Chain A
């Protein structure tokens, strides 16, 4: 009986929380490691998108005012973010499946803090987003994407992981709201819209009309430009980087907060 009380009154520690995050990440990676081919669509889609856009719009670099010499170097940040967005949103789809099948109740009925549960899901999305990014970069360098330097490469990976995290938060918000995998298109489309209504295809100076207006206020534009600097100029500057960091942080706070709110409201 003494043992029981001891266990029941155990206080949660940072070590315990980290272990929980680690095991939730491990569970998420099972799908990649144990289901052959599970990662292929998420890897192939942005790569095909990248190759297709490069082939179709490669001539845009000839336009006066275009800020890059090779279109593939200009467009690769978008494909990197797209891969991260798809991977992150898939976390939302998986969460909806877990809700439908009752697995999520197993997590909710445990005393693990809700932010830790969310962190586990978000961290797994961040790590998984490295897979399409790495594949895409290998293909990209093979077809002539400029080397961004070590700093530029690390910065790209950093923002890819961040985008995977915020896409996971967005997917979780939708999953917790609708509690069905039927909401998957909304999760994917949300990220698609957020990433593509930026300076995705052309510099801001060349955009016109509503797209220019939206790209100007879309915080993801700052993230795109922060990644792009390494690929198009080969150098990284703090002035081009900090707006992206602020945008990423702000989006994570907003979407993470909404996801946490959704998690806390599941009992209602």
Chain B
């Protein structure tokens, strides 16, 4: 069974603003699906429809086999949700929040306490469980929000921009937890504006822009669609012309950049060693060698003509984390 099946999903707001415009997607059980797009692309609106918080104005969506409009209560029983900007009551303690969340999902008494304690320990908040949420850091709040979304062991977990605004260490901790949950069988649907997040976590990625899905597939297949990896070769002795002749055997030559010779590798990254050997055989001294893979941003640019601004802003921090 598909965990999520969406066909022709639409949401129009007052003033004929079409935030989501005919989205089709399927997410298999046990998959991590990342919905990647810039701010205002329609990611959150889609999640709000899939989690029954917003009624679609067109199309159909099934989550865990239930229609989000006609069987909203069944959908809510099957899903866990951590929405953007974790909305937590600063006056409650972590333990109280988990207890409330458990009760909202029909768990009471010893079972609720046991689940709550286990989850707080899992996300590393056991020591801080009796502190007020208002004293938590951003990363702790996100981890608490994640734990609260898991209290009823949902089949499908929705995470709306789970790491936006987090520092690299906290971001990595969330990634690890999401990956672990997925290994345990939870289907994860996450929205993000961070390329690294989609690339590192997702089995498949849907790229959304202006309310429409413009590309979908595994990160590798999407990147392969827009081009092959290329080598950037820095030369020690200025023999660029000779190096270009050698490299042409491995693929199309790309325009020179900052004095470096660029060549697209027809056979992919596996050909790097052969290029190095060929240059060495030709007596060309190589000073630097960079293999540049296409990114999901390249895919986004290819499909929309624009960059993912959120990721560009955060890229250094994310790279640091990785």
Contact = CB atoms under 8 A, between A and B. Distances in A.
A63 interface: no
A50 B88 CA distance: 38
Interface stretch (A105-113, A179-187, A244-252): A105-113
Interface stretch (A27-35, A82-90, A144-152): A27-35
A218 interface: no
Given A10-B77, A27-B89, A34-B91, A267 B104 contact: no
B155 interface: yes
Interface stretch (B47-55, B249-257, B314-322): B47-55
B244 interface: no
Interface stretch (A16-24, A131-139, A193-201): A16-24
Given A8-B154, A109-B76, A35 B91 contact: yes
Q: Bin chain A's interface residue count.
A: 35 or more
B17 to A, nearest CB: 15
Q: Which of B73, B88, B108, B154 has the most CB of A within 10 A?
A: B108
Contacts of A103: 87-89
B222 to A, nearest CB: 30
Interface in B67-114: 73, 76-79, 81, 83-85, 87-89, 91-92, 96, 99-101, 103-108
Q: Which of A1, A20, A23, A106 has the most CB of B within 10 A?
A: A106
B106 A12 contact: yes
B283 interface: no
A107 B153 CA distance: 17
Given A16-B103, A107-B104, A267-B53, A4 B155 contact: yes
Nearest to B49: A267
A186 to B, nearest CB: 21
B104 to A, nearest CB: 4
Contacts of B53: 105, 108-109, 266-267
Nearest to B77: A111
A102 B89 contact: no
A205 interface: no
B171 interface: no
A37 interface: no
Given A8-B78, A105-B53, A23 B103 contact: yes
Q: Interface majority SS on A: helix, strand, loop or mixed?
A: helix
B185 interface: yes
B91 A11 contact: no
A7 interface: yes
Nearest to A102: B87
B142 interface: no
Interface string B176-197: 0000000001000000000000
B106 A102 contact: no
B165 to A, nearest CB: 14
A16 B106 contact: yes
Interface in A74-108: 101-103, 105-108
B141 interface: no
B164 to A, nearest CB: 13
A24 B133 CA distance: 17
B87 to A, nearest CB: 3
Contacts of B83: 102, 105-106, 109
B212 interface: no
A23 B121 CA distance: 22
Contacts of A9: 77
B88 to A, nearest CB: 8
Contacts of A26: 96
Nearest to B80: A109
B223 interface: no
Contact of B153 (A3, A20, A108, A112): A3
A267 B51 CA distance: 10
B230 interface: no
A10 B152 CA distance: 10
A208 interface: no
Interface of B: 51-55, 64, 73, 76-79, 81, 83-85, 87-89, 91-92, 96, 99-101, 103-108, 132, 148, 152-155, 185
26 contacts: A1-B185, A4-B155, A4-B185, A8-B64, A8-B77, A10-B77, A16-B106, A19-B108, A20-B103, A20-B104, A23-B103, A24-B100, A27-B92, A27-B100, A30-B91, A31-B91, A35-B91, A105-B83, A108-B53, A110-B101, A111-B73, A111-B77, A112-B104, A267-B52, A267-B53, A267-B54
**Ordered nearest first, which 6 A-B pairs have the shortest CB separation?**
A102-B87, A110-B104, A111-B76, A30-B91, A10-B106, A4-B153
